[in-house]
């Protein structure tokens, strides 16, 4: 059996395959917008793509953590603002009740109101956000305090633990985001609970002098509580700054990833048009090429 002998045909087919491969790749890049779809597309940038993706994922997680923390910190700040207002109410009630023209019955009635304010303070201390008690430290599934009028403070002992949790900053490092209810409401020498309960007890005992003495301590407790409120305001600023940094870093990482991975659609479209024209020209030229075989040379 005699076969056609045509090296030019082999070369033509090889050239056609190359052009069609270029067309297929260009169409793929235009379709998904990616220049690098698999490692073999450009082995030199695979390591960069993996590193950028890893850093981008970490930055995204930090941003999510900051979003969660923001809700907790805002909840804590709101609770402390409420507690500051409650202490102002306590100061007003106590000052009025300490007046010399008030009767024992008046002071007993005021004591009930002070107990209500104490309960409000405990509610602030037990603030929860996202099923977490924000002032319970690392034991955030346990309410830190409950009312107990048999104690000096008028509350149970602190049921939480120390607050050691920190949130990561995308630029490096981390920062603390909370104080405990014990630090805020029951600090040594400035216990909010103790002084409010002391006012309640003095009112029940019809002891205006005791109320006046407790009012002096109340001012110390108010200063301490305002200090904690300022702390949470500072944390809010830190969280906002870190969140903004996360957004900025995310945009830069996305741009870096695009630079090494994404297709230049305009350039690729131009290459596709060129390749398609080359393919048409190749077929047109081949059609004009004389078809010969060994039989053309046999008599």
Spans of all domains in the chain:
48-256
Give the span between the Cα atoms of 200 and 111, in whole angstroms.
5
Low-confidence residues of the chain: pLDDT under 50:
1-2, 5, 268, 294, 297, 299
Residue whose tokens read 């509610």: 123
Answering whether pTM is above 0.85, one says no
Paired with 168 in beta bridges are 174
pLDDT, tens digit (0-9, with 9 covering 90-100), for 13-35: 666 666 655 565 655 555 556 66
Give the span between the Cα atoms of 237 and 4, in whole angstroms.
82
293-297 LR contacts (CB < 8 Å, sep 24+): 293/2, 293/4, 293/5, 293/6, 294/2, 294/4, 294/5, 295/2
Position 293 scores a pLDDT of 54
Class of domain 48-256: mainly alpha
DSSP designation for 135 = T
pLDDT, tens digit (0-9, with 9 covering 90-100), for 151-196: 999 999 999 999 999 999 999 999 999 999 999 999 999 999 999 9
Give the span between the Cα atoms of 141 and 161, in whole angstroms.
11
Position 105 scores a pLDDT of 96
Q: Are 98 and 215 in contact (CB under 8 A)?
A: yes
Which distant-in-sequence residues (6+ apart) come within 8 Å of 122 by Cβ? 145, 146, 147, 155, 193
Looking at 104-164, list the stretches that DSSP marks H as alpha helix, in order from N- to C-terminal side.
Answer: 104-125
Give the SS3 label for residue 152: coil
DSSP designation for 157 = P
> Which of 297, 134, 291, 118 is closest to 194 using CA atoms?
118
Position 278 scores a pLDDT of 61
Position 2 scores a pLDDT of 47
């Amino acid at each position: 059996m005699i076969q056609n002998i045509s090296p030019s045909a082999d070369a033509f087919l090889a050239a056609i395959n190359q052009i069609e491969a270029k067309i297929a790749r260009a169409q793929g890049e235009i379709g998904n917008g990616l220049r690098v779809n698999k490692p073999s597309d450009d082995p030199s940038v695979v390591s960069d793509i993996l590193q950028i993706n890893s850093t981008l994922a970490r930055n995204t997680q930090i941003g999510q953590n900051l979003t969660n923390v923001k809700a907790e910190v805002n909840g804590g700040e709101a609770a402390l603002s409420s507690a500051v207002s409650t202490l102002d109410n306590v100061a007003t009630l106590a000052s009025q009740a300490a007046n010399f023209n008030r009767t024992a019955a008046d002071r007993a009635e005021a004591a009930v109101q002070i107990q209500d304010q104490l309960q409000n303070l405990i509610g602030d201390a037990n603030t929860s956000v996202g099923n977490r008690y924000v002032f319970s430290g690392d034991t955030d599934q346990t309410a830190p305090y409950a009312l107990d009028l048999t104690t000096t403070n008028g509350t149970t002992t602190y049921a939480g633990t120390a607050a050691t949790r920190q949130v990561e900053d995308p630029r490096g490092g981390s920062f603390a985001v909370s104080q405990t209810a014990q630090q805020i409401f029951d600090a040594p020498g400035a216990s909010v609970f103790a002084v409010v309960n002391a006012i309640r007890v003095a009112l029940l005992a019809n002891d205006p002098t005791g109320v006046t003495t407790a009012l002096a301590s109340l001012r110390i407790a108010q200063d301490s509580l305002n200090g904690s409120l300022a702390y949470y305001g500072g944390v809010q600023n830190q969280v906002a700054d870190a969140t903004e940094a996360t957004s900025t870093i995310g945009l830069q990482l996305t741009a870096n990833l695009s630079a090494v991975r994404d297709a230049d659609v305009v350039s690729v479209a131009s290459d596709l048009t060129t390749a398609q024209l080359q393919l048409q020209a190749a077929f047109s030229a081949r059609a004009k090429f004389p078809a010969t075989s060994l039989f053309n040379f046999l008599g």
